[in-house]
């Protein structure tokens, strides 16, 4: 937008968000100007009562016009604002005509400064030029140099006030944008946290409950077929074990959401000890962020579940490597020797390779999984 035809921003024209000190100074200046103008009128001894009253009334009208001018410029209403400035200039001419040069000078100089401060520059230059020309021509006498320098100083002063107001308005807009950005960021963080909680609840409960359903349905079918007591009891025991493990997983998930996790190494050592697997840790051990530590746990649990399902009896080796900016978990099995159990009889998070890969990608990491020469390998890398 052309700077000569554009208005100062509303933030620049309003007094909202100004400091109490700045507002106090502005009010003080206005009171001093009003008091000085009234005193200049009443202190003159050559004015009769009606003339003095008329002069004071004229000053009050001038201040009312200025007040209206502030409102019309705040609403960016050009022609009403131009008309009000013209009233001030005409008031200066009237004051000069009735022999009140001080009031005339105040009206001409004030209207020039206000025009430059609050109107589009193209309009302000015309109005300020007319006002200051009247001031220099009718109020300077023979001292044109002083009048000219005074006029230039007033124009520059009004423009300086305008630039200061624009800078303040720009700062106010930036602060509002920053507040909006922070609000959006907080909302985004809340949504991300809700998604994380939903993901944890799904990972923990979905498989546990579905596996229990499978076992209970299998138990019902066995009972209907009149199966042996031991076979039915095995299914009931398996369902009970799934319920216990699901409850333990739920407690771990809640602890993770509260940030109350046991160290990853301790968790992995307990897991491999229960499964008879091997764990090798390389690099300098350190605490991991909650999300990264949880990803390592979930991937290890899911990989262990897959081994139980698809390669029972396989030898298992885990490697946890701490790197400067990331951590890597490698989970490898070397092929199973027992019969494959496809009845979901083993516990785990139950969200598969796709869920593990999505979890890694959400953290800016990567997960690779696939068969190797002997067995299957899952490799996770996440920033930490």
Collapsed DSSP state (helix, strand, coil) of residue 367? strand
- State the Cα–Cα distance between residues 358 and 365, nearest whole angstrom: 9
- State the Cα–Cα distance between residues 37 and 134, nearest whole angstrom: 19
- State the Cα–Cα distance between residues 162 and 172, nearest whole angstrom: 15
- Specify the pLDDT at position 346: 40
- State the Cα–Cα distance between residues 295 and 190, nearest whole angstrom: 20
Is the residue at 171 inside a domain?
no
Beta pairing partners, 367: 380
Q: How far is CA 292 from CA 124, 300, 361, in A?
A: 62, 12, 11
Domain that holds residue 273: 262-384
Is the residue at 288 inside a domain?
yes
What is the pLDDT tens value at each position of the chain, 384 positions in all? 577 888 888 777 777 666 677 667 766 766 776 666 666 655 555 556 666 677 677 778 888 888 898 889 888 888 988 888 898 888 888 877 777 777 778 888 888 888 888 888 888 888 888 888 888 777 555 567 777 788 888 888 888 888 887 888 788 888 888 888 888 887 887 677 677 666 666 666 766 777 778 778 888 888 888 888 888 888 888 888 778 777 777 776 666 666 656 688 888 888 888 788 899 999 888 888 878 888 888 888 888 878 877 787 788 999 999 999 999 999 999 876 544 444 433 434 445 677 778 878 888 899 998 888 788 899 999 998
- Specify the pLDDT at position 48: 60
For β-strands 278-282 and 326-333, DSSP reports them as unpaired
CATH of residue 377:
3.30.565.10
- Specify the pLDDT at position 327: 94
Collapsed DSSP state (helix, strand, coil) of residue 371? strand
Decide which of 100, 117, 139 is a domain's last residue. 139
- State the Cα–Cα distance between residues 14 and 358, nearest whole angstrom: 51
- Specify the pLDDT at position 340: 42
Sheet containing strand 326-333, strands side by side? 278-282, 316-322, 326-333, 376-383, 366-371
- Specify the pLDDT at position 320: 94
- Specify the pLDDT at position 280: 92
Is the residue at 47 inside a domain?
yes
Neighbours of 48 (CB within 10 A): 8
Tokens of 159: 């423009």
Is the residue at 149 inside a domain?
no
Question: Under a CB-based contact definition with an 8 Å cutoff, are residues 297 and 264 in contact?
Answer: yes
- Specify the pLDDT at position 291: 80
Decide which of 95, 112, 139 is a domain's last residue. 139
User: The pTM is what?
Assistant: 0.48
Question: For residue 327, what is the DSSP state?
Answer: E
Nearest residue to 211 via CA among 231, 251, 232, 240: 240
Is the residue at 256 inside a domain?
no
How many Å separate Cα 202 from the centre of its chain?
Answer: 29
Question: Under a CB-based contact definition with an 8 Å cutoff, are residues 333 and 370 in contact?
Answer: no
Per-residue burial over 112-145, b if 16 or more Cβ lie within 10 Å, else e, is bbbbbbbbbbebbeebbebbbebbbebbbeeeee
Instruction: Give all strands (DSSP E) within 36-167, no chain letters.
Output: none
The 8 Å CB, 24+ separation contacts for 99-103 are 100/40, 100/41, 100/55, 101/139, 102/37, 102/40, 103/37, 103/40, 103/41, 103/55, 103/58, 103/59
- Structural domain total, the chain: 2
- State the Cα–Cα distance between residues 379 and 186, nearest whole angstrom: 33
Question: Under a CB-based contact definition with an 8 Å cutoff, are residues 309 and 327 in contact?
Answer: no
Task: State the DSSP string of 217-269.
Answer: HHHHHHHHHT--HHHHHHHHHHHHHHHHHHHHHHHHHHHHHTT-PPPHHHHHH
Is the residue at 236 inside a domain?
no
Is the residue at 244 inside a domain?
no
Neighbours of 36 (CB within 10 A): 12
Decide which of 139, 156, 174 is a domain's last residue. 139
Is the residue at 68 inside a domain?
yes
- Specify the pLDDT at position 381: 93
Q: Report the interhelical angle of 78-97 vs 101-118 (nearest 10°).
A: 160
Nearest residue to 109 via CA among 85, 77, 82, 80: 85
**Residue 273 CB contacts under 8 Å (≥ 6 apart), including other chains:** none
């Amino acid at each position: 937008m052309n700077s000569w035809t554009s208005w100062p921003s509303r933030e620049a024209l309003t007094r909202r968000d100004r400091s109490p000190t700045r507002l106090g100074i502005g009010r003080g200046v206005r009171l001093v100007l009003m008091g000085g103008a009234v005193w200049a009128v009443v202190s003159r001894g050559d004015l009769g009562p009606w003339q003095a009253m008329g002069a004071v009334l004229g000053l009050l009208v001038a201040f009312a016009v200025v007040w209206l001018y502030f409102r019309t410029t705040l609403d960016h209403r050009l022609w009403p604002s131009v008309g009000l400035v013209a009233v001030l200039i005409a008031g200066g001419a009237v004051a000069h005509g009735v022999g009140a040069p001080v009031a005339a000078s105040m009206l001409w100089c004030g209207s020039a400064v206000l025009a430059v401060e609050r109107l589009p520059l193209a309009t302000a230059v015309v109005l300020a030029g007319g006002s200051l020309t009247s001031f220099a021509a009718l109020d300077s006498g023979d001292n044109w140099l002083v009048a000219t320098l005074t006029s230039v100083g007033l124009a520059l002063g009004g423009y300086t006030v305008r630039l200061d107001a624009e800078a303040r308005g720009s700062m106010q807009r930036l602060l509002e944008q920053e507040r909006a950005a922070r609000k959006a960021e907080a909302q985004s963080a809340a949504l991300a946290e809700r998604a994380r909680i939903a993901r944890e609840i799904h990972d923990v409960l979905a498989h546990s409950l579905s596996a229990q359903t499978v076992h209970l349905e299998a138990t019902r079918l066995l009972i209907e077929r009149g199966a042996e007591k031991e076979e039915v009891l095995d299914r009931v025991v398996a369902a009970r074990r799934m319920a216990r493990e699901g409850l333990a997983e739920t407690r771990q998930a809640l602890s993770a959401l509260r940030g109350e996790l046991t160290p990853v190494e301790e968790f992995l050592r307990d897991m491999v000890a229960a499964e008879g697997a091997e764990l090798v840790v390389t690099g300098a051990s350190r605490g991991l962020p909650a999300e990264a530590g949880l990803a390592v746990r979930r991937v290890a649990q899911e990989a262990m579940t897959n081994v139980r399902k698809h390669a029972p009896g396989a030898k298992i080796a885990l490697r946890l490597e701490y790197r400067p900016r990331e951590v890597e978990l490698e989970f490898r099995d070397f092929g199973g020797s027992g019969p494959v159990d496809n009845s979901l009889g083993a516990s785990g998070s139950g969200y598969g390779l796709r869920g593990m890969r999505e979890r890694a990608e959400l953290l800016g990491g990567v997960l690779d999984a696939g068969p190797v020469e002997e067995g299957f390998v899952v490799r996770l890398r996440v920033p930490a």
